[in-house]
């Protein structure tokens, strides 16, 4: 049996480990763009903020491929898949045949269109190389502009504030993390960031960047100049699926997979940031581009590729963030705006620096936001993920002493 | 291979296990000394109030597979193969709390630890008293629990007995669950009080 895995992020690595656990002799080939040893992508934001060194990024040994008997093809991207003849085509034209194929190519930063993108000190934030370049640019930087208030934009702004830079964040919604949290939590997060020096501008469109060699200002569509010497672009991510033949493999925003993480094509699987699958809280297909999802999906895809049929019940959005002195935890569908049939209960708010909001549909919890005292967040996550009917009134889950024992 | 088994129905809520746990995870090693230590050693077993205010001892189950392990952003959580204990690597932990989201029991806490990196909070949870067990001691919480709510036994035996107790509870046989009379009375009273209050 010959397994080929495209992508050497956590989804690809987890799948390879499971396949090797189950089958000592199977041939495994990994095709990966990045040549750095398997590393923690989320940790690059800790490198930017300065709490962790770049040297701490690897989460597997430098000898990973050798130890697991994997043939690595690193430093180039897969350019195509020939579904008919079961082979992957590389950028240099070479082909790699497979019996089972895993697409674990993750996502790339969503590119922006603007003039002057080639100036120095304008960064995306996705790879260890980006982090290293950002840190190298910090020495001479005082003023930064961050484009985007999603997860990556938020982490970029947070890291730069921690480094002592003056940071301006340009966002389209009224508060950061609008996809993750509701209005109350969003405003609490915003206030905490502003308290630590963040400037926020809402509804500004960037037209380009000005400067001679290095970026010196962001140019808005109204012609205004925002002085800066460093820019991080965090306008979301796009699944890496351009090389996939869409007439042979169903692709929506991500690569569509069933509960066995199999694509619409025989013997081809997908997992991680590139995969689109059933979302447990939203009850529809969704791309949940998150580390625990990628790790678990990778493992389950590995089982199925090795011939053990194992279902993945579905994905779930979830996030934990430390925002200076606020701890924020969000899970599931936290803000069902126009939809019917949802009930929300909440306690606390801005004045308390403590907040809890639960979203309930029929007798089940479908979303939660916690600010402060986040330790029991996993219990709520499990309730959502297991679709457990609530035996307690929702108000009891809001109380400070709530714990797992009360569910028994 | 012995493990700590929790029998919540026997817990009287005295919280002795919490003190013993914090002491066992202090540098000083005595209760008095531990209270003076900085950073303050903290328990890794948590007695909370159950639905009817009864004591509920909650600690890491060392799940297999462990959801915190695959969720850890820093590769800081691993399992010791010989004992089955899930451990957090103090040096690798970045205090991201991704594990808090993963843990279905809510047993992971975040604070500075006497043995952790200085001035840096990290994730802290039960380590099955690995340092005591290698010296031939049993976990501190088990040693101190006088109600029999925490026991140290081979998992298979414990599980079998537990299943028997639950099965008996389901069929409503008179002698079960196997809780000392005093404890049952205490729990009954707590529950009755609560129900009266909520009326
Ligand atoms: C700054 C930042 C902070 C984050 N913080 C968190 C967090 O706190 N919590 C959380 O849950 N998640 C977080 N994430 C998301 C998390 O990092 C991702 O969900 C996870 O890394 C996805 O893993 P993956 O294996 O699916 O994809 P990736 O990690 O993207 O790996 C895919 C690999 O495949 C390569 N590749 C792509 N296309 C090809 C091709 N055609 N051929 C060969 N190789 C290819 C890529 O270069 C990449 O190396 C964060 C991400 C970023 C960028
Ligand atoms: S807090 Fe530490 S142990 Fe928990 S997930 Fe993050 S790095 Fe891992």
Q: What is the pLDDT of residues A149-176, one digit of tens each?
A: 999 999 999 999 999 999 999 998 888 9
Q: Are residues B92 and B48 in the same domain?
A: no
Q: How far is CA B144 from CA A212, A293, B8, B149, in A?
A: 71, 40, 15, 10
Q: Are residues B133 and B196 in the same domain?
A: yes
Contacts of residue A392 in chain B, CB cutoff 8 Å? 51
Look at B186 and A280; give whichever has higher pLDDT.
A280
Q: Of A385, A380, A254, which is closest to residue A329 (Cα–Cα)?
A: A380
Number of Cα atoms under 13 Å in the Cβ half of residue A36: 19
If one counts the domains in chain B, the total is 2
Residues with pLDDT less than 50, chain A: none
Contacts of residue A291 in chain B, CB cutoff 8 Å? 71, 73, 98
CA angle A387, A393, A394 (to 5 degrees): 65
Interface test with A, best of B18, B57, B75 (most A CBs within 10 A): B75
Fold of the A122-233 domain: FAD/NAD(P)-binding domain (3.50.50)
Q: Which CATH architecture has domain A2-109+238-305?
A: 3-Layer(bba) Sandwich (3.50)
Instruction: Say how far apart CA A68 and CA A55 lie, in whole Å.
Output: 22
> A234 to chain B nearest CA, in Å?
20
Instruction: Say how far apart CA B107 and CA B100 lie, in whole Å.
Output: 8
Roughly what angle, to the nearest 10 degrees, separates helices A151-162 and A183-195?
20
Phi and psi at residue A62, to the nearest 5°: -65, -20
Residue B175: pLDDT band by 50, 70, 90 thresholds?
Answer: very low
Q: Are residues B44 and B101 in the same domain?
A: no
Q: Are residues B41 and B94 in the same domain?
A: no
Ligand 1 atom nearest the C-alpha of A319 is 9
Q: Of A84, A91, A90, A87, which is closest to residue A101 (Cα–Cα)?
A: A87
Q: Are residues B134 and B196 in the same domain?
A: yes
Instruction: Say how far apart CA A131 and CA A264 lie, in whole Å.
Output: 36
What CATH number is attached to the domain comprising B147? 3.30.70
User: What pTM, to 2 d.p., does this model score?
Assistant: 0.92
Domain termination residue (choose one: B125, B155, B179): B125
Q: Are residues B165 and B182 in the same domain?
A: yes
Residue with the nearest Cα to atom 19 of ligand 1? A290
Q: Which of A8-17, A335-344, B115-124, B143-152 has the lowest mean pLDDT?
A: A335-344
Q: Are residues B16 and B104 in the same domain?
A: no
A85 C-alpha to ligand 2 centroid (Å): 43
Q: Residue B94's pLDDT is what?
A: 97
pLDDT at B178 over 80: no
Q: Residue B162's pLDDT is what?
A: 63
> A214 to chain B nearest CA, in Å?
33
Q: Where in chain A is the domain with CATH 3.30.390?
A: 333-407
Q: Of A100, A76, A385, which is closest to residue A270 (Cα–Cα)?
A: A100
Evaluate: CB of B88 within 6 angstroms of ligand 2: yes
Q: For residue B97, what are the domain limits? A: 60-125
Domain termination residue (choose one: B110, B125, B140): B125
Q: Are residues B181 and B150 in the same domain?
A: yes
The ipTM estimated for the assembled molecules is 0.93
Q: Which CATH architecture has domain A333-407?
A: 2-Layer Sandwich (3.30)
Furthest CA-CA distance within chain A: 65
Q: Of A387, A112, A362, A363, which is closest to residue A238 (Cα–Cα)?
A: A112
Instruction: Say how far apart CA B78 and CA B99 lie, in whole Å.
Output: 12
């Amino acid at each position: 049996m010959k397994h080929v895995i495209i992508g050497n992020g956590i989804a690809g690595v987890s799948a390879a480990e499971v396949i090797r656990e189950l089958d000592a002799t199977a041939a495994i080939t990994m095709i990966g763009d990045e040549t750095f040893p398997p590393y923690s992508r989320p940790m690059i934001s800790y490198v930017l903020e300065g709490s962790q060194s770049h040297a701490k990024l690897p989460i597997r040994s430098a000898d990973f491929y050798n130890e697991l008997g994997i043939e690595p093809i690193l430093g180039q991207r897969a350019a195509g898949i020939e579904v008919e003849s079961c082979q992957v085509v590389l950028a240099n034209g070479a082909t790699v045949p497979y019996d089972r194929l895993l697409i674990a190519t993750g996502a790339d930063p969503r590119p922006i269109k603007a003039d002057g993108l080639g100036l120095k000190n304008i960064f995306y934030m996705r790879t260890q190389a980006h982090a290293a370049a950002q840190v190298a640019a910090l020495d001479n930087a005082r003023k930064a502009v961050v484009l985007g208030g999603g997860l990556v934009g938020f982490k970029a702004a947070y890291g730069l504030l921690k480094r002592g830079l003056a940071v301006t964040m340009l966002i389209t919604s009224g508060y950061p993390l609008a996809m993750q949290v509701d209005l109350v939590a969003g405003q609490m997060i915003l206030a905490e960031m502003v308290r630590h020096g963040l400037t926020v501008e809402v509804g500004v469109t960037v037209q380009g960047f000005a400067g001679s060699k290095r970026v010196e200002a962001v140019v808005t569509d109204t012609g205004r100049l925002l002085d800066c010497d460093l820019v991080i672009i965090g306008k979301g991510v796009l699944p890496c699926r351009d090389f996939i033949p869409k007439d042979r493999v169903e692709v929506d925003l991500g690569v569509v997979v069933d509960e066995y993480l199999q694509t619409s094509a025989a013997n081809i699987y997908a997992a991680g940031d590139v995969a689109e699958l059933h979302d447990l809280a939203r009850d529809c297909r969704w791309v949940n581009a998150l580390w625990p999802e990628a790790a678990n999906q990778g493992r389950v895809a590995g089982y199925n590729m090795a011939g053990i049929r194992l279902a993945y019940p579905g994905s779930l959005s979830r996030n934990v963030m430390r925002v200076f002195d606020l701890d924020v935890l969000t899970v599931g569908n936290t803000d069902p705006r126009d939809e019917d049939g949802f009930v929300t209960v909440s306690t606390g708010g801005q004045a308390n620096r403590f907040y809890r909001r639960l979203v309930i549909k029929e007798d089940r919890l479908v979303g939660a936001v916690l600010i402060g005292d986040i330790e029991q967040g996993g219990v709520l996550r499990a309730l959502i993920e297991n679709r457990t009917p609530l035996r307690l009134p929702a108000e009891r889950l809001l109380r400070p002493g709530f714990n797992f024992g009360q569910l028994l | 291979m012995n493990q700590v088994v929790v029998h919540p129905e026997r817990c009287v809520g005295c919280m002795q296990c919490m003190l013993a746990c914090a002491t066992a995870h202090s540098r000083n090693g005595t209760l008095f000394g531990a209270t003076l230590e900085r950073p303050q050693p903290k328990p890794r077993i948590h007695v909370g109030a159950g639905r009817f205010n009864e004591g509920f001892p909650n600690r890491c189950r060392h799940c297999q597979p462990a959801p915190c392990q695959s969720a850890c952003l820093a590769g800081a959580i691993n399992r010791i193969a010989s004992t089955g204990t899930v451990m957090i690597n103090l040096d690798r932990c970045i205090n991201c709390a991704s594990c808090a989201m993963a843990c279905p029991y809510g047993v992971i806490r975040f604070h500075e630890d006497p043995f952790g990196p200085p001035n840096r909070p990290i994730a802290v949870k039960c380590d099955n008293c690995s340092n005591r067990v290698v010296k031939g001691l049993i976990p501190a919480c088990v040693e101190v629990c006088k109600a029999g709510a925490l026991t140290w036994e081979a998992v298979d035996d414990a599980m079998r007995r537990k299943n028997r107790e639950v099965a008996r509870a389901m069929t409503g046989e008179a002698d079960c669950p196997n809780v000392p009379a005093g404890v049952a009375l205490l729990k009954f009273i707590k529950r009755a009080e609560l129900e009266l209050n909520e009326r």
